Structure 1
Amino acid sequence: MLWDARRGVVLHALRGHNGSADAVSLSADGTRAASSGADGRVMVWEVGRGVLLRTLRGHRGSVLGVALSATGHRVVSGGSDHAVRLWDAESGRVLRAYPTNPNASIRSVALSGDNTRVFAANYAGTVYAWELKTGRQIATWTDPDGWNAALATDWRGERAVTVSGTSPARVWSLGKKAPIATLHADGGEFQGVAMSADGNQVVTVGEDTVARRWDARPQVDGMALPGHREDIWSIAVVPGRSMVYTASSDHTVRCWDLSRGLSSGPVLSHPDMVRSVAVSHDGQRVLTGSDDRKARVWSAAGNVLRELVGHDGEVARAIWSADESTIATASADGTAILWDAGNGAPRHRLKGHGASLLAVAFSADGRQVLTGSQDQTARLWDVATGALLQTFIGHENFVRDVR
């Protein structure tokens, strides 16, 4: 999916892979995207129109990692066939193949922001670095824990960071064999990682309900965002600011200032666990959904502006349409309700699912809404009339998310 990062709406659904899509990458100028998957193909897309520009074929087996150059004209890929390739996205030609261990699948690849260096990490714990133009290998590092799940690099390709499940994250630097920093989480698994352009900060995400920001300089401890006492269900980013909201089973929603790593502003409270949080485009309103069967619209100052009452079960999800004129809530009572965001009045109750609803999403133009349910179906509705347009049947388990 291609999303508008400011409005939080889907711009295009990129369809074409036969099987799972295992990796995606966006060019720095935002004009192109690349995806790779279990079908052994790499696909290059135009972001503006969401159309396929080129399909790159040559890998044998799943392509687990892909990275785009700043302008999207070069693509790096790596996969289960142990190969790392540099492609010309215009012609589809392979420009270079980089040698790796023939007995270990490539799990992740990265391209430095200045397009001078290529990185790859495999399941055997080896991290490679090459000069892009010449193919000369300039570094090889070995993770002592034996495998790598994800990889990121700084802008100039002088540092890289790897994560490997329950093992520590490690920061590597050209010219040094051992990691310059080892980042230990308190629990859970590392599942993803990003590095700042200057290589001095790292963000990791994992299973322990916490996103962590680390100082990537040698042996400086990371910073967690403590405060919630129970599971975190939802997170929402404040557009244009280094702030996020988190919703938790401890009945609260908290706002965090990421620049300082501190809780900021009032704590928003429901009588029961809060499963959903969303933020308006201007950052001045917050929308929450709770097991108390209500959704609430709050001011950023912590005042309740609207209380949406009408469900007979827990509110699993609450969202705004792109123009913020309509609110949709999805509930364990098996229905979704469309609300007038201005006065809080219900417009339509969407009935038809045979079990609890778990997900809801508006179309980009706000004219349709999609719901997902424990009845293993997704259903598409007309926002203006509340009429059911289509039912999607085929899943063999709960439909937990829709876009």
Structure 2
Amino acid sequence: MPPRPNKKRRVADKQAAEEVVSKKLKAAASAALAIDGQALVQFVDPDGKIAGPQLDVPLGTSKEQLGTLLNQLLENAEEMPYSFHLEETEITSNLAASFGKLASQSTERVLNITYYPLAVFRVRPVTRCTSSLSGHIEAVLCVAFSPDSTKLASGSGDSTVRLWDLNTELPKHTCKGHLNWVLAVAWSPDGSRLASAGMDKIVLVWCAQSGKNLGALRGHTQPVTCLCWQPLHVAEGDSFPLLATSSKDAAVRIWDTSVGVCLRSLTSHSQPVMQIRWSGERPDIGGVVYSAGRDCVIKVWNPKDGAMLNELKGHGHWVNTLALNTDYVIRSGPYSHEPAKFKDLAEKKEAAKKRYAEAIELCGGERLLSGSDDFTLFLWRPLVSKTPVCRMTGHQKIVNQVAFSPDGRWFASASFDKSVRLWDGRTGKYVHAFRGHVGDVYQLAWSADSRLLVSVSKDSTAKCWDISRRKLLEDLPGHADEVYAVDWSLDGARVATGSKDRLLKIWRH
């Protein structure tokens, strides 16, 4: 006869089960009470400006209802999308869920709800490879889409630059002229010219339509590391934008590509200059140039007279990467995700100026970001102060690349510690670490709507991340070796990756 279970134990188990049920009932009841409650809320923009009066709203108010309320307060003609934040937490479902995470849960005080504008259009995540473009006979080292998203340029270790037609996804021109690896390619903001440079110390300028060599810019005595065009809206009068180049000879040179002459040589770095950026602020002097490299200092230049305006010190090791929160709008010039036709350069300049002004208003002033071999990042307001906004730590190895989202709301950093980290674009506050790569992460590219991010790695894969849900959306294997370069077209339709396996791959939804 089997032994009978202990009566005391049965009673104890029954009591424990009843306690669990009663706790769950109490929790459900308190949640219902919370949603039944009211709260005083005040909408504020990211800069702290108040929108409308304080409102007494139910705690059960959903994110969609908050959106409708805000659109009415701002008197928007058509309903615009926004994301809402209660202190540090994003409101994803309703007010009560985020209210429950606050340290002091008092409905007596006024709750500030910070709203961030989102892109009206949505970019679909890339999910499949539609073309493998072969032709290069060495590793593909750099890729870049043209501002109007109709062409793609790639530079390779085989000393050639190739132009690809994106309508057919077939090769268009092979541009020969370099004598060594091509390390960088950059489109002019109006899309009519392409500059390329690399180990042979020469900068070549190509016609985007015909692939014809428009001239060689000679002057650097060491490999050229970075290329950057002047923003279209700050180019002087009717003239074409200038080009800035940095080199391992510790100099930054500014060129007039129309006549092929060097206008300025900026020489006060003591070590190789690895990165440059051309800001759209200070149109009176044609913008501002930032340069950084292996002397651990970021220098701020006046391109008009070549004077050094400032020095930004803070990094303890080589500076590898610079990014501006206006990079996207500067690079795309007059073009947006919507197709547009322009009569002449003057019309393009006017459109670029308008888009830049809108971008500056959206992201609350221009900011500069730097990443270094000392595992840290610095966020700067270089024309406001010499001291950084903040210093960001967390990466365990060197920071290889940093990139702002097109709306300036976020920035991401890629590191050799195999992670991609997400930070707040205004404050530099750490938000999330995306983990999934099993090799060094080399480069990043944002989608035009700032909702998605793609990263490429030594592990031969590209990965597409969802920013709002903070998770991996698509794993994109296919390359047979390390993936060195990535770019996302400005219309959001395609991602291009370049690899050591000598292939360019086009990824689409």
TM value normalised by structure 1: 0.54
Change (3 A) 1:187 1:222: farther
Alpha-carbon shift at residue 380 of structure 1 (Å): 1.0
Q: How many residues align?
A: 277
CA deviation profile, 1:163-214 (whole Å, cap 9, x unmatched): 2xxxxx5xxxxxxxxxxxxx64434479999999989997575864655235
- Structure having the higher strand fraction is 1
In 2, Cα distance between equivalents of 1:190 and 1:342: 29
In 1, Cα distance between equivalents of 2:299 and 2:307: 10
C-alpha contact (below 8 Å) 1:289/1:296 kept by paired residues: yes
Q: Which has the larger displacement, 373-382 or 202-211?
A: 202-211
In 1, Cα distance between equivalents of 2:253 and 2:169: 35
Q: 2:381 aligns with which of 295, 299, 308?
A: 299
CA deviation profile, 1:60-108 (whole Å, cap 9, x unmatched): x96336xxxxxxxxxxxxx99xxxxxxxxxxxxxxxxxxxxxxxxxxxx
Taking CA–CA contacts closer than 8 Å with sequence separation of 6 or more, which of the two structures ends up with the larger relative contact order? 2
- 1:63 and 2:173 aligned: yes
In 1, Cα distance between equivalents of 2:257 and 2:486: 36
Alpha-carbon shift at residue 395 of structure 1 (Å): 2.7
C-alpha contact (below 8 Å) 2:271/2:294 kept by paired residues: yes
Alignment of 1:1-400 (within 5 A): 18-19=133-134, 33=150, 43=165, 52=167, 63-64=173-174, 150=205, 162-163=215-216, 169=217, 184-188=219-223, 203=243, 205=245, 208=248, 210-214=251-255, 223-240=264-281, 241=283, 242-281=287-326, 282=360, 284-300=366-382, 301-400=385-484
Change (3 A) 1:275 1:189: closer
Change (3 A) 1:151 1:355: closer
CA deviation profile, 1:306-343 (whole Å, cap 9, x unmatched): 22222212222222212222221112211111123344
C-alpha contact (below 8 Å) 1:150/1:193 kept by paired residues: no
Alpha-carbon shift at residue 353 of structure 1 (Å): 1.0
Q: 1:267 aligns to what SS in structure 2?
A: strand
C-alpha contact (below 8 Å) 1:276/1:318 kept by paired residues: yes
C-alpha contact (below 8 Å) 1:368/1:382 kept by paired residues: yes
C-alpha contact (below 8 Å) 1:287/1:318 kept by paired residues: yes
Letter in structure 2 aligned against 1:330: A
Alpha-carbon shift at residue 302 of structure 1 (Å): 1.7
Larger Rg: 2
Letter in structure 2 aligned against 1:64: T
Structure 1 unaligned regions, length at least 5: 1-10, 46-51, 66-78, 81-112, 114-147, 154-159, 164-168, 170-182
C-alpha contact (below 8 Å) 1:192/1:205 kept by paired residues: yes
Change (3 A) 1:247 1:192: closer
In 2, Cα distance between equivalents of 1:261 and 1:399: 37
Q: 2:391 aligns to what SS in structure 1?
A: strand
Identity of aligned residues (%): 22
Letter in structure 1 aligned against 2:279: V
Letter in structure 1 aligned against 2:379: V
Letter in structure 2 aligned against 1:261: G
Cα RMSD (Å): 4.9
Q: 1:303 aligns to what SS in structure 2?
A: coil
C-alpha contact (below 8 Å) 2:371/2:400 kept by paired residues: yes
Letter in structure 2 aligned against 1:256: W
Letter in structure 2 aligned against 1:298: W
Alpha-carbon shift at residue 383 of structure 1 (Å): 0.8
TM value normalised by structure 2: 0.44
- Structure having the higher helix fraction is 2
C-alpha contact (below 8 Å) 2:443/2:486 kept by paired residues: yes
Letter in structure 2 aligned against 1:292: D
Alpha-carbon shift at residue 20 of structure 1 (Å): 5.5
Alpha-carbon shift at residue 349 of structure 1 (Å): 1.2
Alpha-carbon shift at residue 269 of structure 1 (Å): 2.9
In 1, Cα distance between equivalents of 2:290 and 2:471: 33
Q: Which residue of 2 aligns with 1:92?
A: none
In 2, Cα distance between equivalents of 1:343 and 1:374: 31
Change (3 A) 1:247 1:400: farther
In 2, Cα distance between equivalents of 1:344 and 1:41: 37
